[in-house]
Amino acid sequence: MGKRTFTPATDIPSLTGKVILVTGSNAGIGKATIRALAQHDPARIYLCARRRSAAETAAAELKNGTQYDRIDILTFDLASLDSVKKCAAEFNDRASRLDLLFLNAGVASTPPALTQDGYELQFGVNYLGHMLQTWRDNANVDVPIIAAASDAAFAPFLPKKRGLVLDEMRRPDAYGPMSLYAHSKLANVLFIRKLAQLYPGISAFAAHPGVVATEIWDKSAGGLMSALFKPIVWATAVDSDGGAKSQLWCATTQIGSGVEVAESGQYYQPVGKNKALKGLSADQKVVDELWEWTNNELASYNSTGWPV
């Protein structure tokens, strides 16, 4: 199916009564996502960010710009699984429901580093922290989950042809920054696929925002791949509002209509264009390998995991 026309201001239906959580929403696509959602009167939006000061500034700007004041802040550092657990616990204390979950936060092509728990930074932030955040005790409630994806998941510069290099995710520099970014984005796509397979009651989507000019690329580590890629970003990119459209479309097009326009477990390019999964992203063995590895890793953090 080809690209769809989608205007958030007019095409997003009423969100009255909906509770929404957006990670990485103090800037860029996440902030633009909240700005678009706020125009449709949700019950509350939770703005999750690593730095409290940045979150407070963003929340004030959004409230002033949209005249919507039901934006709450949650401190949330994906590079710390302890922070992720505390954020989830705080949300559960403050809210009795969740209707839309945007796994938007991420980093791209960063210098070699490890998370606080000793995982390669891009994999830990883009995938593992979000995986822990979404674990739940009741998988019977339909909460659409939208993960920020990227065409890097299908890139030829993935670390190895076999795709996953999970045994090397305790090393910060096992591969180049762009290869590790692609590895983390492949994990996002595989995670969404597995959620859809195990839990038909959950709508799970991988949403590629397109090429977007945000500050995420200002923090890249450089290197050949980054040097080649960054000029393309700035020459072809859309702004953050344009970049938010893909995940907004996945999250809201079926609200109130009863028609499932987007198919759970699938990958969508902007806007509303389904990209057929093939190769590693369609390899069930790779999907299952990541799920099993992740469950085993996070079990050590006293996480009960997803119910069977």
Residue 301: predicted pLDDT: 76
Q: What is the CATH number of the domain that holds 127?
A: 3.40.50.720
Calpha distance 216→214 (Å, rounded) = 5
How far is C-alpha 67 from the chain's CA centre?
26
Q: What six digits make up the tokens of 64? A: 């002033």
Write the burial class of residue 44 (CB in 10 Å: 0-12 exposed, 13-18 middle, 19+ buried).
middle
Calpha distance 10→40 (Å, rounded) = 9
* Residue 248 included in any domain: yes
* Residue 58 included in any domain: yes
Calpha distance 295→49 (Å, rounded) = 25
Residue 58: predicted pLDDT: 98
* Residue 119 included in any domain: yes
* Residue 3 included in any domain: no
* Residue 303 included in any domain: no
Query: Annotated active-site positions, please?
Result: 181
Query: CB within 8 A of 207, min separation 6: which ones?
Result: 146, 147, 148, 149, 246, 247, 249, 250, 268
* Residue 290 included in any domain: yes
* Residue 301 included in any domain: no
- Number of domains composing the chain: 1
Residue 123: predicted pLDDT: 98
Calpha distance 159→206 (Å, rounded) = 21
Calpha distance 197→287 (Å, rounded) = 10
Structural domain containing residue 290: 8-295
* Residue 44 included in any domain: yes
From the list 280, 270, 279, the residue with the least C-alpha distance to 1 is 270
Q: DSSP letters along 211-248, please?
A: SB--GGGGG---HHHHHHHHHHHHHH-B-HHHHHHHHH
Residue 137: predicted pLDDT: 47
Calpha distance 16→284 (Å, rounded) = 38
With beta carbons less than 8 A apart as the criterion, state whether 307 and 295 touch.
Answer: no
Instruction: Rounding to the nearest 10 degrees, give the CA dihedral for residues 278, 274, 17, 94.
Output: 30
pTM greater than the 0.85 cutoff: yes
What is the number of other CB atoms lying within 10 angstroms of the CB of residue 32?
Answer: 27
Give the pLDDT means over successive 10-residue stretches in the chain (308 positions).
81 96 96 98 98 97 98 97 94 94 95 97 97 65 88 89 88 94 97 93 93 65 57 71 96 74 93 93 95 90 65
Residue 118: predicted pLDDT: 97
